[in-house]
Structure formats: structure tokens, C-alpha cells
Amino acid sequence: MIRIIVTGGTFDKRYDEIRGQLSFDSTHLPEMLRLGRSRVETTIETLMMIDSLEMTDEDRARVARSCAQCAETRIVITHGTDTMVETARAVAEVVRDKTVVLTGAMVPYAFGSSDGLFNLGSALSFAEVLPAGVYIAMNGQHFAWNAVRKNRQTGVFERL
């Protein structure tokens, strides 16, 4: 059983056709799991639905508390890429004896050409088999939370 904690990010951005802007509504996770024909037992918890550039310390504390307090010992967090590493650190300070994998997308799932479906399959798989620890799964790779940074120019996560 894997808990999926949704926080928003590019993953879940959609196009508001009346206002002509990017926006958030409900999460695409259930649709993505159905499309991927996932048979992994999951519980989805939408904790917040925000751009990760707007995430406060208090928001990160809420994410860490959810990880610590939930019954599951294997957790996937969907998160904006810009501050994913900061949230991973906040989780690592609090959570022990659980496998936590943060993932996201560079292109919104709703925009058809997304890396989101690929990353979701990847993150769930890492969460199933990696030992306890806090990881980031992007671009088909996994990184320990304290050994990675996002390259803002290329949009790629790099090992430190």
C-alpha cells in the first residue's frame, strides 16, 4: 500500500479556457493511474494544490507531518520541481523508517506531451523497492534528498 500525497506543481496544472491562464482544479492522479492501468494499491491525499514557488515553510511542515503521521510506510509526493529539494529536506528532518519519493513534471499532464506519466510510473516503482529514506525521482533516475539539485537552465535534476 502506497500513500500518494498531492501538493500541486506543474504535474497538475491545467488551462483555464475562460480566463486564458494556467490554474489548478482537482488532481489528475486518479486519471493518470487509470491510464497507466496501475494495479498498485494507493491512497491519494490532496494536501494542497499550489505552485511550489509559493510553498511556505509552514506548507513544508504540513507535508512532513503527513508523511510522519500516516499509516503507510511507502509514500509518493507529487510536487512542483522548483522547490522539490527544499521539501525533501524538510521531510528528511522529520521522517524516519519510511520510504518517501518526491516526483513532479516539467510539462503539465493535461497538455498531452507530459513527462508526468513516465515519472509517476517511475516514482511508484522506486517507492515499492527502495529502502527507507527520502528520495527524488525525476527523469527516470532517483537521488538521495541531499545529493541532488535542479538545474534551472535545463530543467534537469543533477547529482551533486
Q: Name residue 24's amino acid.
A: F
Q: Is 124 in the site for a second copy (CB under 8 A)?
A: yes
Query: Binding-site residue total for a second copy (CB under 8 A)?
Result: 51
Stretch that binds a second copy, among 55-63, 66-74, 90-98, 105-113 (CB under 8 A): 105-113
Binding mask 54-73 for a second copy (x = CB under 8 A): --------------------
Q: Is 152 in the site for a second copy (CB under 8 A)?
A: yes
In the complex, the residues that contact a second copy under the rule CB under 8 A are 10, 15, 17-18, 20-22, 32-33, 35-40, 51, 82, 106-108, 110-115, 117-126, 128-130, 137-142, 152-157
